Amino acid sequence: MTENKEKIVSTETIDIVEAVDLNAPALYFNRELSLLEFNDRVLAQAKNEDLPLLERLNYLCISCSNLDEFYEVRVASVIQLATIDPFAKMCDGLNTQEQLEAIAPKAHDLVNEQYRVLNELLIPQLAEQNIRFIRRDDWTDRQKQWIETFFREELSPILTPVGLDSAHPFPRILNKSLNFIISLTGKDAFGRNSGRAILQAPRALPRIIQLPSEETGGGEYDFVFLSSIIHAFVDDLFNGMSIKCCHQFRVTRNSDLFVDDDAIDDLLDAVEGELAMRNYGDEVRLEIDANCSPETIAFLAARFGISDGQVFLVNGPVNLSRVQEIYGLVDRPDLKFVPYKPSVPSALARSKNYFEVIKKQDILLHHPYESFAPVVEFIRQASQDPDVLAIKQTLYRTSTDSPIVGALLKAARAGKEVTVVIELRARFDEKANITLAAKLQDAAVHVVYGVVGYKTHAKMCLVIRKEGKQFRDYVHLGTGNYHPKTAQFYTDYGLFSSNKELGEDVRKIFIQLTSLGKVTKLNKLLQSPFTLHKGLLDKIEREIDFAKKGKPSKIIIKVNSVVEEQLIQALYRASQAGVEVKLIVRGICSLRPGIEGVSENIEVRSIIGRFLEHARVYMFENGGNPEVYAASADIMNRNMFRRVEACFPIEHKALKARVLADLELYLKDNSGSWIMQSDGSYVQSMPEGEVCQVQALLMEQFSAK
C-alpha cells in the first residue's frame, strides 16, 4: 500500500506555498457547472454500446431525472439568491446572474444531446430488437382503430380541456406535468372564440401505452406515447371547432421546501404545510415541443415569467424520464444486466444469533456486493430477542413497507423501548417520512424529528442487550440509508460492532437528538456539526507534517461531492507540501486538480458504472499506520455544519485492509473512471492492456465468496 520514500520539501517550495492565495476564484470550479458535468458522464453511458441496450435507455432516463432535480433545487436556489443579492459571489467568483448565464448553454447542450441519443441511437437500435415506438404517421389501420377506441373509452372521459377567456383563467400547472396548448378557430356553443385552450394530462395516466399485438396485429413490444394519442384525437374534445395546432409542454418548478427554523412550533405541521405547495413553486424551466410557433412559445414564457435561457425546445416527449417505464414493460433479459446475487459474510450466514458473532468480531458489509439482508436480520433478531431491552434507529430514507420498519413495530409491540429519529426533511421523501412517523407512533414507538435547523443524516442503529448482569451495546453504522431497495444498486459500507467505545458514542448522539444538553466528548466517532470538520482538517494537517518530515503521507477520499472551501484549501496545502492526494468523487467537485504550485499532486476521478457510487471513505496514511474512516458525510458545507453526521473508524486489521484494497481498485479502474482536468472537464480512462473495472471486479470477488 505505502511506499516509504522520503519527500523533502525545499525552502523554495515553502516560499511558493506561502505566496499562493488559496482563496483565489481561479482555484475553484462552480458547483452547478460541475453537477452538469456529472450528468454528461451519466448520459455517456447511454451512448456506450458495450452496455445492454435497455440499460442504456435507463441511463438516458436517469440523466433526465437528474436534470429535473437540478432545476427544481439547484437552479431554483440560484434564482432565489439572485432576487435577494444579485451580486453575491460563489468561491469561483461567479455571481448569481453569471451562474445562470453559464448554466443555460450547458443545460441546453445536454438536453439537445439527450434527444439526439433517443432519436438517433436508442429508438432505431430498439426497433432492431423489435421494441418499437410507433409514430402517428406509421400507425396501421388496425392500430389506429384500437388507439381511437382507447382514447374515447379510457382517456376522453377524464380529460378536461380549459378554454382561455375572461371566465376561464390560465389554469395552475402542476410541477413536471404533461400539458398541451391548443390553438383553435371557430365559435363554440356560446359564441365564444378565445383562440387558445389548455389540456392537462392527469398524472395517473401512463405516458407510454403498449399496443396489444393480438388486437393490433403488431409486435409484442409496440408502444405509442400518450402525447401522440392525445395529439391525434384532441379535436374530439372541441366539437365543432377547428384545431390549428396542438403542442405539448411541461413546467419545472422550485421544489425545495422552505421551513423557517426560527418560527417553528411544530416541525411536522410546518413540513406538511410546505408539501401542499411543492407542486406550485416558482417556475424555473419550460420545456415545449420544438415545432411550436414562436408566438405560442412567447405566450407561455411570458405567462410563466420564464427567460429565454430557461426555455427548452425538445424533439420528442417533454418528459424523457417517463420513458423508463419501458424497462419494466419489456421482458428481455438479454438486453439488461445479468442479475447479480449478493453474498452474505460466512460468519453471519452460519449463525442464527448475530449478537454472538458481533460480540466476537466486527463485521463489515459492502453493499450491493454483499447483501443488505443481514442489516434487516440484525434488527429482526433484536425485535425478538428477550434479552434486548432497547433499539434506537435513525431513518433518513426508507419505505413504509420496509422489513426494518416491520421489525421496529414488532419490537415496540413486544414491550421493548424503541426510539426512531426520522428526518422529515429528507428531500422528496418528506411525505413518505410523515406517513412512516404516524405508523410508528401508532405502535407506541418514540418518534422524534431530530434537531430543528439540522437534518439528521447519520445512519445509526443501536441495540442495547442485557447479558448477565451487564448491558452491552451493539451498533450498526453505515454510509447509506436503511433502504433495502436502494441498497441493491447503491454502493455503501455498513459496520456491525460491539465495541464499547463505539456504543457509548452512538448512545451519546442519540441522547443529543432526543433530549437536551451540551456536546459531550466522543471516543471514536467524528460528528457533524461539532467535530467532523475540525477532525478532518487536523488529519490533513498531520499528513502535511508527515510529508515535511519525510515520512509516508497520503490521502485517499471517496465521496459524492467536494465543495467545502476550508477542506479544499487544506487539500491544496497538502498537495503543496508533497502529499499525494487521490480523490474519488462521483458528482460535484469544486476543487481544481493539476494546477502548478497548488494541486499538481491531486488527482480527481469519477466512477460511473452499473451501481451508484455512494460510499464515503476517508483514508490518511498517518506516517505508515493508515487510518480509515467511513461516513455518512460528503465534503459539503451542509454535511459539515448543517447536518448531524457520523464518521466512524474501521479499526479491525482485516476489515481495514479490505477497504484499503477496495480503494486501490478504484484508483486502478481504467474502464468506468473519468479523470477530472484542471478546467473542470472530464476525460474517460481508456484501458491500455488489461481492463480494470472496479465494480465488475468486486462483483466477481464477492460472487466467489
Domain borders along the chain are: 11-26+527-704, 130-335, 350-521
> The pTM is what?
0.92
> May I ask the CATH class of domain 350-521?
alpha beta
Give dist(CA 201, CA 345) in Å, integer: 49
Give dist(CA 225, CA 545) in Å, integer: 62
pLDDT over 50 at 3, yes or no: no
Give dist(CA 324, CA 212) in Å, integer: 19
525, three cell numbers: 466517532
Q: What is the pLDDT of residue 433?
A: 76
Three-state SS for 193? Answer: coil
Q: Which residues contact 368 (CB under 8 A, 6 or more apart)?
A: 340, 342, 487, 488, 489, 490, 491, 611
**Class of residue 325 by CB neighbours under 10 A (exposed 0-12, middle 13-18, buried 19+):** middle
> May I ask the CATH class of domain 130-335?
alpha beta
Q: What is the pLDDT of residue 383?
A: 96
For 505-531, write each residue's pLDDT tens digit: 999 999 999 987 777 899 999 999 999
Give dist(CA 524, CA 463) in Å, integer: 18
418, three cell numbers: 424503541
Average pLDDT over residues 552-559: 98
Picking from 148, 168, 166, 163, the residue whose alpha carbon sits closest to that of residue 215 is 148
Q: What is the pLDDT of residue 10?
A: 36
pLDDT over 80 at 13, yes or no: no
Give dist(CA 574, CA 567) in Å, integer: 10
Active-site positions read 457
Give dist(CA 446, CA 439) in Å, integer: 11
422, three cell numbers: 426520522
Q: Which CATH superfamily is domain 11-26+527-704 in?
A: Endonuclease Chain A (3.30.870.10)
Give dist(CA 605, CA 584) in Å, integer: 5
| Same topology between domain 11-26+527-704 and domain 130-335 | no
Q: Which residues contact 122 (CB under 8 A, 6 or more apart)?
A: 46, 53, 56, 57, 60
Picking from 83, 91, 84, the residue whose alpha carbon sits closest to that of residue 32 is 91
Q: How crowded is residue 485: how many other Cβ atoms within 10 Å of its Cβ? A: 14
pLDDT over 60 at 33, yes or no: yes
Q: What residue ranges in 103-172 does DSSP mark as E strands?
A: 131-133, 162-163
Residue 195 pLDDT grade (very low, low, confident, very high; cuts 50, 70, 90)? confident
Q: What is the pLDDT of residue 285?
A: 97
Q: What residue ranges in 113-258 does DSSP mark as E strands?
A: 131-133, 162-163, 179-185, 196-200, 208-210, 221-225, 242-253
Average pLDDT over residues 42-64: 97
First to last CA, the chain: 24
% of the chain surpassing 70 pLDDT: 91
Q: What torsion, rounded to 10 degrees, do the Cα atoms 15, 19, 20, 22 define?
A: 110
624, three cell numbers: 505508515
Higher pLDDT, 451 or 192: 451
Q: What is the pLDDT of residue 190?
A: 56
Q: What is the pLDDT of residue 169?
A: 84
Picking from 367, 406, 504, 392, the residue whose alpha carbon sits closest to that of residue 456 is 392
Residue 9 pLDDT grade (very low, low, confident, very high; cuts 50, 70, 90)? very low
User: Where is 232: in which H helix or E strand?
Assistant: helix 226-233
For 288-321, write each residue's pLDDT tens digit: 999 999 999 999 999 999 999 999 999 999 989 9
Higher pLDDT, 227 or 444: 227
Higher pLDDT, 75 or 440: 75
Q: Which residues contact 419 (CB under 8 A, 6 or more apart)?
A: 390, 391, 392, 393, 445, 446, 447, 448, 510, 514
% of the chain surpassing 90 pLDDT: 77
Q: Which residues contact 453 (CB under 8 A, 6 or more apart)?
A: 261, 642
Query: What is the DSSP annotation of 383-422?
Result: HH-TTEEEEEEEESS--TT-HHHHHHHHHHHTT-EEEEEE
For 346-372, write each residue's pLDDT tens digit: 999 988 999 999 999 999 999 999 999
